[in-house]
Amino acid sequence: MNHLMKTFITLCARASWLGKRICGSKFACPSLARARGIAAESPQDLHGQIRGLGAESPVRAGRSTARTRHTDRKKVHAGIPLLAALAVLAFTACAPGAEKTGAESAAPAAVELTDSFGRTIRLKNYPERIVSLAPNMTETLFLLGAGNLIVGRTDYCDYPLEAAKIPPVGSITTPSIEHIVSLAPDLIVGSTHFQKETLAALENLRIPVYLSIVRNDDAGDAGDSNNYEEIFDTIIMLAKLVNKTEEAEKIVSVMRQRKDAVEQTVRKAAHKPRVYYMISFGEAGDYTAGRGTYISALIKSAGGLNTGDDIEGWKYSAEALFRSQPDIILCGTSSGGPGAGNLEKLRSTAPYNRLRAVQEGRVYGIDNNLLDRTGPRNIDGLEMMAKIFHPDLFPLEPSQAEFFPSELSPSELSPSEFSP
Residue 100 — pLDDT band, cuts 50, 70, 90? very low
> pLDDT per residue over 30-56, tens digit each?
333 333 333 333 333 322 332 232 333
> What residue type is 345 in one-letter code?
K
Query: Can you state the angle between helices 378-389 and 245-266, rounded to 10 degrees?
Result: 10
State mean pLDDT over 400-407: 36
Residue 59 — pLDDT band, cuts 50, 70, 90? very low
Percent of the chain, pLDDT > 70?
Answer: 63
Domain ranges of the chain: 2-100, 111-213, 264-418
Residue pair 131/151 in contact (Cβ under 8 Å)? The answer is: yes
Residue 34 host element (H or E) = helix 30-36
| Burial classification of residue 199, based on how many CB atoms lie within 10 Å of its CB (0-12 exposed, 13-18 middle, 19 or more buried) | middle
State mean pLDDT over 316-329: 95
Looking at residue 42, its pLDDT comes to: 31
Residue 420 — pLDDT band, cuts 50, 70, 90? very low
How far apart are the C-alpha atoms of 300 and 382, rounded to whole Å? 10
Residue 254 — pLDDT band, cuts 50, 70, 90? very high
Asked if pLDDT for residue 86 goes beyond 70, the answer is no
Q: Are strands 187-190 and 209-211 parallel, antiparallel or unpaired?
A: parallel
Asked if pLDDT for residue 143 goes beyond 80, the answer is yes
Asked if pLDDT for residue 23 goes beyond 50, the answer is no
Looking at residue 338, its pLDDT comes to: 61
Q: Which of the two residues, 65 and 209, has the higher pLDDT score? A: 209
Give backbone dihedrals phi and psi of 279, rounded to 5 degrees, phi first.
Answer: -80, -45
Residue pair 87/12 in contact (Cβ under 8 Å)? The answer is: yes
How far apart are the C-alpha atoms of 316 and 318, rounded to whole Å? 7
How far apart are the C-alpha atoms of 384 and 362, rounded to whole Å? 15
Looking at residue 337, its pLDDT comes to: 57
Q: Is 24 left (phi over 0), alpha (psi -120 to 50) or beta?
A: left
> What residue type is 32 in one-letter code?
L
How far apart are the C-alpha atoms of 375 and 26, rounded to whole Å? 36
How far apart are the C-alpha atoms of 382 and 387, rounded to whole Å? 9
Looking at residue 202, its pLDDT comes to: 95
How far apart are the C-alpha atoms of 25 and 51, rounded to whole Å? 22
Topology match between the domains 111-213 and 264-418: yes
Residue pair 128/108 in contact (Cβ under 8 Å)? The answer is: no
Q: Any bridge partners for residue 130, and if so which?
A: 150, 187
Instruction: Output 180-185 pairs: Cβ under 8 A, ≥24 positions apart.
Output: 180/131, 180/152, 180/207, 181/34, 181/37, 181/205, 181/207, 183/129, 183/131, 183/151, 183/152, 184/34, 184/129, 184/151, 185/127, 185/129, 185/130, 185/131, 185/151, 185/152
Note the pTM of the prediction, 2 decimals: 0.68
Looking at residue 332, its pLDDT comes to: 85
Signed CA dihedral, 347, 350, 354, 355: sign only: negative
Q: Structurally, what CATH architecture does the domain formed by 111-213 represent?
A: 3-Layer(aba) Sandwich (3.40)
Asked if pLDDT for residue 361 goes beyond 50, the answer is yes
Give me the CATH code for the 264-418 domain, please: 3.40.50.1980
Residue pair 191/235 in contact (Cβ under 8 Å)? The answer is: no
Asked if pLDDT for residue 237 goes beyond 70, the answer is yes
Residue 140 — pLDDT band, cuts 50, 70, 90? very high
Helices (H), 344-407: 356-359, 369-372, 378-389
Residue pair 152/132 in contact (Cβ under 8 Å)? The answer is: yes
User: Could you give the count of Cα atoms lying within 13 Å of 22 in the half-sphere of its Cβ?
Assistant: 13
Residue pair 234/246 in contact (Cβ under 8 Å)? The answer is: no
**Which range, 58-67, 123-132, 357-366, is most confident?**
123-132
Within 10 A of 346 (CB to CB), how many other CB atoms are there? 21
Residue 22 host element (H or E) = helix 2-23
State mean pLDDT over 101-106: 40
How far apart are the C-alpha atoms of 24 and 253, rounded to whole Å? 47
Asked if pLDDT for residue 221 goes beyond 80, the answer is no
Asked if pLDDT for residue 116 goes beyond 50, the answer is yes
Asked if pLDDT for residue 340 goes beyond 70, the answer is no
- Average pLDDT of the chain to the nearest whole number: 73
Looking at residue 109, its pLDDT comes to: 66
Looking at residue 316, its pLDDT comes to: 95
Assign 277 to helix, strand or coil.
strand
